[in-house]
Amino acid sequence: GEDVEQSLFLSVREGDSSVINCTYTDSSSTYLYWYKQEPGAGLQLLTYIFSNMDMKQDQRLTVLLNKKDKHLSLRIADTQTGDSAIYFCAESTGGFKTIFGAGTRLFVKA
């Protein structure tokens, strides 16, 4: 079945770049997402990319998609303590069904 995998933890120093990686198994995935969850809150859409794109940049965020390897990454430039959260990778083939990864907890050290 479909699966989305991510590493569970990442620790970076404030000001450095963070790179969160994700792999997925469904080759027919059409939409790939990054959601952010802050403590005690629900998930919020951070950014998304269509499967026919290789890269998307949005201010400090860069999403890279390697469709051949089914690999998605999220780069956060100049990471700040406010970026500390859990980041979820998710994929969808269309319709409303979305498969989420287990989430990567980002720790930012001052």
Partner 1 sequence: NAGVTQTPKFQVLKTGQSMTLQCAQDMNHEYMSWYRQDPGMGLRLIHYSVGAGITDQGEVPNGYNVSRSTTEDFPLRLLSAAPSQTSVYFCASGDSRGLAGGNTQYFGPGTRLTVL
Q: Write out the binding residues for partner 1, residues 13-32 only, by CB under 8 A.
A: 30-31
Q: Candidates 7, 13, 17, 45: give the one binding partner 1 (CB under 8 A).
A: 45
User: How far does CA 51 lie from the centroid of its chain?
Assistant: 14
Angle made by CA atoms 79, 33, 44, in degrees to the nearest 5 = 65
Q: Candidates 28, 59, 82, 94: give the one binding partner 1 (CB under 8 A).
A: 94
Q: Candidates 17, 44, 57, 81: give the one binding partner 1 (CB under 8 A).
A: 44
CB-side exposure of 67: number of CA atoms within 13 Å? 13
In the complex, the smallest distance separating the C-beta of residue 23 from partner 1, rounded to whole angstroms, is 14
Q: Nearest CA to 61 among 70, 44, 52, 73?
A: 73
User: How far does CA 70 lie from the centroid of its chain?
Assistant: 13
Closer of 74 and 101 to partner 1 (Cβ): 101
Q: Where along the sequence are the contacts to partner 1 (CB under 8 A)?
A: 4, 8, 30-31, 33, 40-45, 48, 50, 88, 92, 94-98, 100-103
